[in-house]
Structure 1
Amino acid sequence: MRGINARLSAMMFLQFFIWGGWFVTLGTFLTTTLAASGGQVGKAFSTQSWGAMFAPFVIGLIADKFFNAERILAVLHLVGAALLYQLYRSPDFSTFYPFVLAYMIVYMPTLALVNAVAFRQMKNPALEFSRIRVWGTIGWIVAGVVISFGFAWDSQQAITTGGLRNTFLMSAAASLILGVYSFTLPDTVPLRSSENTRGLRQLIGVDALGLLKDRGYLVFFIASILICIPLAFYYQNANPFLSEIGVENPTAKMAIGQVSEVLFMLLLPIFIQRFGIKLALLIGMLAWALRYFLFAYGNNGDQAFMLLTSIALHGVCYDFFFVSGQIYTDARSSDRFRSSAQGLITLATYGLGMLIGFWVAGQVTDHFSTGGNHDWRSIWLFPATFALAVFFLFWLSFQGRERPTVNR
């Protein structure tokens, strides 16, 4: 069993090394190497949302019914390697965009596929999965460290000479390795059962729409979409912001956020059991507002600690709202509709919410930019104020006080 867990851990490591190897620095690459506008950067990042909305069709119509999950995983990563190589070669945004859209449509389904492969090999998923999934976070962290300290592709000198282009080549190589490696993973055959006939409906959340009749869950659902607007600002603008103001090794320093994510993931179950889901969600939303105020008023001089604190808040921001939201969704849904409910909240956040968020982030960034120079304080104050408004609306509207049972 230890041998299988080691193989699954390697799968998770490569899965997120690939994503972290280019996604974190994407905004900086687009604005510096390809001279993209804020709107174009938002358009590129929104391909993640299109991929998230397309993913259930791949999983529900193909993986759940016809082919082994590990084989589909292998093919998608091999195709992904070719697309990443095309991103490496793209000379301008008009050439780059179709390839990044195609890549995210190919990559996003693999997030569910690696989970499917892992869960099917476990006797006690509640105990075993977190130990395997944490290697994905480690993979993301290692990618950032390699970019900053291994090759210094995000240094000011390397950025001006197009050094960030190499991140796509590195990720393409990792995708090729994972594609070949996936063929060696344990068989994960489709579950051809009567339940599977509703697989697509469950994965895209159609069966869970009844949850929205509950006022408490409806408030949470709307807040989940709205809080994705501030979230998009971090993904799209954090690395370009840190690079532009002269922070050294910005990609590696952003990996502090993933370290924080692991630590707060361990604390979250204890917190929810003691204080309830509403307080956890409120802390998550307030943390988004706080981190952007820190970005707005921090600098690369005597206020550099504010920037590092903002990055370190990522664990609170993500775990206390998004992971708590998944736990809350699970607690509010019946056994029959649990998969549908998770599909619904995933489409609401990574699909609709992030799609709106990246568009808004692009428009706000362009509005406060002149001749390639950014008014970063004004840019960051927008999501800070927005997150604070969502916090107060949720605080006044949400009545849930559940302390759902969670596995420690």
Structure 2
Amino acid sequence: MNFLQFFVWGAWLISLGGYMGRNLHFEGGQIGAIFATMGIASLIMPGLIGIIADKWINAERLLGICHLLGASFLFYASTLTGYDEMYWAMLLNLMVYMPTLSLANTVSYNALENNRFDIVKDFPPIRVWGTIGFICAMWAVDLTGFKHSSAQLYVSSISALFLGIYSFTLPKCPPAKSENKTLLSSFGLDALVLFKRRKMAIFFFFSMLLGAALQITNSYGDLFLSSFKEIPQYADSFGVKHSVILLSISQMSETLFILAIPFFLRRFGIKQVMLISMIAWVFRFGLFGVGNPGEGLPLLILSMIVYGMAFDFFNISGSLFVEMETTPQIRASAQGLFFMMTNGLGAIMGGYASGAVVDFFSKYAIVSGQSQLISRDWHSIWLIFAAYALTIAIFFTFAFNYKNGLKTVKEK
């Protein structure tokens, strides 16, 4: 289940931007807007689907229904070439996909608990198959040549169809009828009381700002690497011909840095680990700005490796910070609020803002009634993103006062 859950996502998330830019000739802002639909879906649907799973429908059945609907939306998207239609197709797809991330965890936890497994010990080795599935999907669409065609959406659609059917065979996970969860709690909104605490308000504000950076390389990474195809000396390089495989090093790095988090938290504390994440984002974008698929390939590979630190260190340490700073009554809602700030509001802001930056450094011309890209200054684009991450890191250093390490907080 976990393998297919992320295979469905990995089949298009990294390569769709390149397909829309090169084949469909979408502008940077249009690509950013389509990726921003992930944030819109993350704001609304996880809480809504969570209410349905809590009260009326078995989680495994709801998981299956969502993936079957997603399969149909992905198939429909594969037939489209216009921006407006593609925008709504991907929005509908993500509105049924994003809730499945938590539904899959719910089904997993329920099955482990019913069979008397230790969730803390036994779930991580199961969840890692999700990352493996994501990487396998990236390699599949790259090696088959699907990365710049609508076939990547067919692959995702077929995978979602298979997972949707398979979900109905999973162990039953009935609604927890005894749970008295309010509507506000389901959407993470009863945790808004945390904004009264200056420290938490600052943390959530920076979560939103950093959330804006999370999907930038997913949106434009493949489009950037593919742009070197127009330069003869790079056209046949590995980084151009197998750009998605090169980008998959980021996901490999992510699995390794997850294992390093306990050491860094004990050694440096949560504030420093979150700050390390922000500095890592500076290097992630900056190395893209100075690297190339030729002699600069080591810089691109280093950027992929740094991604694991950039992504994991804030998301996981931030989640732990929320866990330690909230009471049991609103802890789940606080985690939902953290998700909404990063993957909801942050993703929406990042999608539209990054698209505006890309278009600012791009030149278009109308050819046969269609907008065609003439040139794009990727060097300046990536350096702007790096400067943004550096600015966040500097302000975070002075604005967020939190001196306790993980061990000290637990003892308190």
TM over 0.5: yes
Q: Normalization by structure 1: what TM-score?
A: 0.91
Matches within 5 A, 1:4-153: 11-122=1-112, 123-149=117-143, 151-153=144-146
Give how far 1:300 is off.
1.9
For the pair 1:234 / 2:234, whether they are aligned, the reply is: no
Distance 1:203 1:314, change over 3 A: farther
The aligned counterpart of 1:187 is 172
Instruction: Give the distance between the partners of 1:187 and 1:226, measured in 2 at CA.
Output: 39
Instruction: Give the distance between the partners of 2:72 and 2:46, measured in 1 at CA.
Output: 23
The aligned counterpart of 1:3 is none
Instruction: Give the distance between the partners of 1:57 and 1:287, measured in 2 at CA.
Output: 31
Give how far 1:139 is off.
0.4
| SS of structure 2 residue aligned to 1:401 | coil
Give how far 1:91 is off.
2.7
Aligned partner of 1:380: which letter? W
Deviations 1:306-325 (A, max 9, x none): 11111111110011111111
Aligned partner of 2:264: which letter? F
Aligned partner of 1:52: which letter? S
Deviations 1:200-222 (A, max 9, x none): 32232222122222222222211
Instruction: Give the distance between the partners of 1:142 and 1:403, measured in 2 at CA.
Output: 37
Instruction: Give the distance between the partners of 1:57 and 1:309, measured in 2 at CA.
Output: 37
Give how far 1:271 is off.
1.4
Aligned partner of 1:206: which letter? L
For the pair 1:300 / 2:300, whether they are aligned, the reply is: no
Deviations 1:224-270 (A, max 9, x none): 11112232321211111011124231111111111111100011012
Instruction: Give the distance between the partners of 1:369 and 1:88, measured in 2 at CA.
Output: 26
Instruction: Give the distance between the partners of 1:364 and 1:335, measured in 2 at CA.
Output: 42
Deviations 1:84-143 (A, max 9, x none): 111111132222221111111111111110011011122322112211111100000001
| Residues 261 and 314 in structure 1, CA contact (< 8 A), matched pair in contact too | yes
The aligned counterpart of 1:172 is 157
Root-mean-square deviation (CA), in Å? 1.6
**Structure 2 unaligned spans of 5+:** 230-239, 365-372
Instruction: Give the distance between the partners of 2:62 and 2:214, measured in 1 at CA.
Output: 30
| Residues 65 and 196 in structure 1, CA contact (< 8 A), matched pair in contact too | no
**Structure 1 unaligned spans of 5+:** 1-10
| Residues 236 and 361 in structure 1, CA contact (< 8 A), matched pair in contact too | no
Matches within 5 A, 1:349-368: 349-368=342-361
Deviations 1:266-322 (A, max 9, x none): 110121122210110000000001111111111122111111111111110011111
For the pair 1:221 / 2:214, whether they are aligned, the reply is: no
For the pair 1:249 / 2:251, whether they are aligned, the reply is: no
From 210, 213, 231, give the equivalent of 2:193. Answer: 210
Instruction: Give the distance between the partners of 2:165 and 2:334, measured in 1 at CA.
Output: 33
Give how far 1:26 is off.
1.2
Give how far 1:196 is off.
2.9
Give how far 1:383 is off.
1.1
Q: Say which is worse superposed, 138-147 or 120-129, in terms of deviation.
A: 120-129
The aligned counterpart of 1:7 is none
Instruction: Give the distance between the partners of 1:231 and 1:244, measured in 2 at CA.
Output: 22
For the pair 1:274 / 2:267, whether they are aligned, the reply is: yes
| SS of structure 1 residue aligned to 2:139 | helix
The aligned counterpart of 1:325 is 318
Give how far 1:144 is off.
0.9
Instruction: Give the distance between the partners of 1:343 and 1:57, measured in 2 at CA.
Output: 8
For the pair 1:311 / 2:304, whether they are aligned, the reply is: yes
The aligned counterpart of 1:197 is 181
Aligned length, in residue pairs: 386
| SS of structure 2 residue aligned to 1:121 | helix
| Residues 139 and 245 in structure 2, CA contact (< 8 A), matched pair in contact too | yes
Percent sequence identity over aligned pairs = 39
Instruction: Give the distance between the partners of 2:170 and 2:406, measured in 1 at CA.
Output: 34
Aligned partner of 1:168: which letter? L
Instruction: Give the distance between the partners of 1:296 and 1:89, measured in 2 at CA.
Output: 34
For the pair 1:288 / 2:281, whether they are aligned, the reply is: yes
| SS of structure 2 residue aligned to 1:370 | strand
Give how far 1:57 is off.
3.6
Q: Normalization by structure 2: what TM-score?
A: 0.91
| Residues 147 and 252 in structure 1, CA contact (< 8 A), matched pair in contact too | no
Deviations 1:31-86 (A, max 9, x none): 11211111111111011011111223433321111010000111111111111111
Instruction: Give the distance between the partners of 1:291 and 1:271, measured in 2 at CA.
Output: 19
From 326, 329, 335, give the equivalent of 1:336. Answer: 329
